Structure 1
Amino acid sequence: MCLAVPHTIKEILGENRALASAGAVRTEIRTDLLDDVVPGDTVLVHAGFAIEKLSPEDSEELKSLWDELRALAGEPYAH
């Protein structure tokens, strides 16, 4: 099974690289597969690569679902 996790772009680091957060975790990701990624965008990340850019509506819904999962796992809420 493959899993893509929603991340919010925090900073563009250079060509095809960005700093992104998933909850309280920040990580460097690759953006080679997407065009026009900017800070504030929500992307799905699999194996360190942003594979899809989400619409604002889809982003909010997915973030809400992940927040519920984090709460069930006992993790603190953080965007």
Structure 2
Amino acid sequence: MCLGIPGEVVETVPEQPDLARVKVSGVRRAINVGLLEEPPSPGDWVLIHVGFALSKIDEEEARATLEFLEGMGQNYTDEVDALKQSMLDS
């Protein structure tokens, strides 16, 4: 199962404008933000699916979504584990 997971943008990558570094459930990784109408800024929240930011969301929506996903148990744990294994950011 693939889930859309909220992540907080921690920094942009000036030399690669389609990339941003985000924190997703404690995991830092680079994601593609090229699908967004406007590039995100540090502190923005985005909904991420398979390495792409699909939309910006507000912090309240991000927190509610994370709470819901954590309630899914093993499916959510599996997604976070997959993120950790596919980290693009060192």
Do Structure 1 and Structure 2 share a fold, with TM-score over 0.5? yes
Point out the structure with the larger strand share: 1
Deviations 1:25-78 (A, max 9, x none): 1100010011131111111111111001102331232233345567xx6xxxxx
- Structure 1: gaps of 5 or more residues: 74-79
Point out the structure with the larger helix share: 2
- Structure 2: gaps of 5 or more residues: 78-90
If the length of structure 2 is used for normalisation, what is the TM-score?
0.66
CA distance in 2 between counterparts of 1:55 and 1:6 reads 10
> Where do 4+ consecutive residues of structure 1 move more than 6 Å?
none
1:39 equivalent among 29, 42, 52: 42
% identity of equivalent residues: 31
Letter paired with 2:4: A
What RMSD, in angstroms, separates the aligned Cα atoms of the two structures? 2.4
CA distance in 2 between counterparts of 1:46 and 1:8 reads 14
Aligned-pair CA distance for 1:5 = 1.1
The number of aligned residues is: 73
